Amino acid sequence: MGPVRTGITATEALQIILDQARPLGAETVALPDAEGRVLCETVTSSRQLPPWDNSAMDGYALRVADARAAGAVLPVLFEVPAGDPGTRALPAGGAARIFTGAPLPPGADSVVRQEDTERRDDHVEIRIVPKPGDHVRRAGEDVEVGDRVLAPGARLTPAHVGMLTSLGRGFVSVHQRPRVAILSGGDELVEPDGDVGGGRIVSSNSWSIAAICREVGALPVYLGIAPDRPEEIERRLRAGLACDAIVTSAGVSVGDRDYARGVFEKLGCRLLFWGVDIKPGYPLAFGAFEGRGPLVFGLPGNPVSALVTFEEFVRPALLQMAGHARLFRPQIQATLGESLRKSPGRMHFVRVRLAREGGRVVARSTGNQSSGVLRSLCEAQGLLIFPADARELAAGDTATVQVLDPDFLAADGPGF
């Protein structure tokens, strides 16, 4: 065991974590499970899309040579519905009724929109002068055989799902979702349906951490509440060793009455740091196994500290493990709506509400910033970064805010 780094900066802590958070391997999933996942393969097309020249409109297929002046009248020789095999050729001097998506009959070189024609029994009057290729979608205009359509690292969207489907792909190789073992510890903790008399409190962190895991696309594996006994902690942690990360909180973080560190070390986990110069969240610990094993995040027990440290340090790690390149929340430069003070030394994450006022975004504290006050995090739309060395941010000063609330970024109207 080397010495454990302590009292490091948030930047150092994040760097140590991201250095360890390697992208997980591939798994093959059916397309309905692929949306939002990160592609692990190169998708090359074995097809032309569209597969044949086809009509972009309902109308009439013809040869432009047969309609050199407006008012040409042509016999309608046959009909080409969508789904037609498209093998019947159009003789010179004739037209074919054609529908959107239907294959252009061999011989035809243009489509005239229904609106630009007048049907008269078995003839059609062409009221415009068509040009070759009008309203024709050329075979392969979207994708040619051999095109490299998607590259590893692409985050799959609904449009990608449509594309993959069109290429006949029902399954695709993506990065695995991180499995995150969650363990709370402490004799005072009970589940939400438990008896809270006699000094007991609900173990809320496990459930909020499970929720944030799901939000980020990870799979929570809740190991339950460990009593304050090393053998109980060890038994539960062993159940989490096959996961990609272990997140502990409360009594299983490193403190005076904490047995967890010894258990982790016994299992082969090396503690890389304990204590980050931030508030809330100083007692954050991070460890890793030599060789194979989960990353280990020891979160502080306070509900706010646990969620803020997850947000700042665990979330980017899980995103990176899932193959994402973009790891961080949107940020804005906000104007302080009130002054904030602290002692220098630790960087503070201040829970703020955000308001658009006269072209600026104004940030105001959600109130009591005690790390026990979860309500102020419930009401927060962002975390304002109050730098370590600063003592005061005055009303009117500008600061960086990490935006937690997607509704704040949503537009008020459709934009048209």
Residues 1-40 binding a copy of itself (CB under 8 A) are 10-11, 14, 31-32, 34-36
Q: Which of 5, 169, 270, 364 binds a copy of itself (CB under 8 A)?
A: 169
Q: Which of 106, 146, 162, 345 binds a copy of itself (CB under 8 A)?
A: 162
Listed ranges 176-184, 266-274, 334-342, 370-378: which one lies at the site for a copy of itself (CB under 8 A): 370-378
H or E element, residue 78: strand 72-80
Q: Is 317 in the site for a copy of itself (CB under 8 A)?
A: no
Q: How far apart are the first and last CA of the chain?
A: 62
Residue 413: count of CB within 10 angstroms of its CB: 5
Residue placing its CB nearer to a copy of itself in the complex, 11 or 44: 11
- Taking the complex as a whole, the smallest distance from the CB of residue 402 to a copy of itself amounts, in Å, to 5
Q: Is 359 in the site for a copy of itself (CB under 8 A)?
A: no
Q: How many residues bind a copy of itself (CB under 8 A)?
A: 117
Q: Which of 28, 42, 339, 368 binds a copy of itself (CB under 8 A)?
A: 368
Using CB under 8 A as the binding rule, the residues of this chain from 80 to 99 that contact a copy of itself are 81-86, 99
> In sequence order, what are the residues at sequence separation of 6 or more whose Cβ sits closer than 8 angstroms to the Cβ of residue 372?
302, 303, 304
Using CB under 8 A as the binding rule, the residues of this chain from 119 to 158 that contact a copy of itself are 137, 141-143, 149-150, 155, 157-158
Positive/negative CA dihedral, 376, 378, 381, 386 = positive
- Under 8 Å between Cβ of 98 and 58: yes
Rounded Cα distance between 248 and 137, Å, is: 57
Residue placing its CB nearer to a copy of itself in the complex, 293 or 320: 320
Q: Is 301 in the site for a copy of itself (CB under 8 A)?
A: yes
281 in the Ramachandran plot: left (φ > 0), alpha (ψ -120 to 50) or beta? Answer: left
Q: Is 358 in the site for a copy of itself (CB under 8 A)?
A: no
DSSP 178: P
H or E element, residue 113: strand 110-113
Token pair listed for 50 = 């569209």
- Taking the complex as a whole, the smallest distance from the CB of residue 289 to a copy of itself amounts, in Å, to 25
- Taking the complex as a whole, the smallest distance from the CB of residue 312 to a copy of itself amounts, in Å, to 7
Cα dihedral value 178, 183, 189, 195, nearest 10: 60
Binding mask 374-403 for a copy of itself (x = CB under 8 A): xx-xx-x----x-x------------x-x-
Rounded Cα distance between 56 and 274, Å, is: 63
Listed ranges 126-134, 188-196, 264-272, 289-297: which one lies at the site for a copy of itself (CB under 8 A): 188-196
H or E element, residue 224: strand 219-226
- Taking the complex as a whole, the smallest distance from the CB of residue 220 to a copy of itself amounts, in Å, to 8
Rounded Cα distance between 125 and 118, Å, is: 5
Rounded Cα distance between 358 and 353, Å, is: 16
Q: Is 245 in the site for a copy of itself (CB under 8 A)?
A: no
- Under 8 Å between Cβ of 385 and 402: yes
- Taking the complex as a whole, the smallest distance from the CB of residue 187 to a copy of itself amounts, in Å, to 4
Residue placing its CB nearer to a copy of itself in the complex, 293 or 376: 376
- Taking the complex as a whole, the smallest distance from the CB of residue 172 to a copy of itself amounts, in Å, to 11
Q: Is 101 in the site for a copy of itself (CB under 8 A)?
A: yes
The Cα-based distances of 362 to 70, 335, 401, 409, 412 in angstroms read 63, 5, 10, 14, 17
One-letter amino acid for residue 308 of the chain = V
- Taking the complex as a whole, the smallest distance from the CB of residue 197 to a copy of itself amounts, in Å, to 8
Q: Which of 325, 344, 357, 391 binds a copy of itself (CB under 8 A)?
A: 325
Q: Is 52 in the site for a copy of itself (CB under 8 A)?
A: yes
- Taking the complex as a whole, the smallest distance from the CB of residue 290 to a copy of itself amounts, in Å, to 27
Residue in 254, 312, 251 with CA at minimum distance from that of residue 13 = 312
- Taking the complex as a whole, the smallest distance from the CB of residue 257 to a copy of itself amounts, in Å, to 6
Identify the residue whose tokens are 């910033």: 369
Q: Which of 5, 113, 200, 360 binds a copy of itself (CB under 8 A)?
A: 200
